[in-house]
Structure 1
């Protein structure tokens, strides 16, 4: 018994890391296909095992590629060279910005982090969540300017944060705390460089709390 072949190795989506939600959506689509008789017991079990072992979207894609379109809709398909692929992140152009003036703004979920992002909180609050994001290159820059406001950057374990910014009657914290967690830091680990100024404001970095009962109780 075989599973459809994966996309070509040069497909850029193949290397994107899969989230638990991606795997759950594929598993649900496989259960629907099995209930309709499109997969036998052996095929369903093998594909389900591969689903929960998958680390990247490229490993998930072939598990649904020979099923009707209505099954793959649970994986939020985007057309690819061999059919739909699961849950592609939102894209933002280099130099994109997140600004909060007397307001609150957030950027999070599945998104592609460009080479540089600018965040500005002026009497407001900005949250940039990188925990499910995909970095477009190993080192990205976030210019965080907090003026009488606050900017919080949520980072997964295994990402190194290097703060090169300035604080004037403000604070910048968290970039050197608990970076590794359960993920070892290596010379190839992704790096987020923080720049900008905290002027009567706060720029903080938050890593997930230690595992408890098998789950992250992240902030």
Structure 2
């Protein structure tokens, strides 16, 4: 027989899944999702957890795979939805000035290194629930990252900023819930290992330049 702690844990897992599915189907909005996920973690009984999803339809696992292909297609040009699926945007794809990115139980990659840019700042409104999003940019971009995380992670992998000059601006806003957002800085054609080695070389060169710029001490 399951222990009370085990029953509570399974109830939390099921509630998270049901809430994520309800959000993906627009049955609840972002604020309601956040409030209920937090309440699920605070709940001390299975009955409390069940009450938080009583108004939502159960997740029907047999419908996930057929629905995924249709929901992984961006809508209306500036909206990108990924539900129980994965999607990649690479190469010379056209980037809108503002894109709403919603990933629920899925994975998405937005590679901006060779993309056709709008000629001004790029804004990504991000909402991740049990998903992963990778954003890949070329070196030298200016990042304005204001994404919050609830039991998730937001990671930025970039080297030192280049000296002076105007830079492409990328603004990220939104929430990462039980999810992962990673922003990579890579040259076109560069993989993760090559990017790490390049950043180390750049940091070493920056340290050497800084050391040479210091005034010489008295003998």
Could you tell me the TM-score, scaled by structure 1's length? 0.49
Structure (1/2) with the larger helix percentage: 2
- Which protein is bigger by CA-based radius of gyration? 2
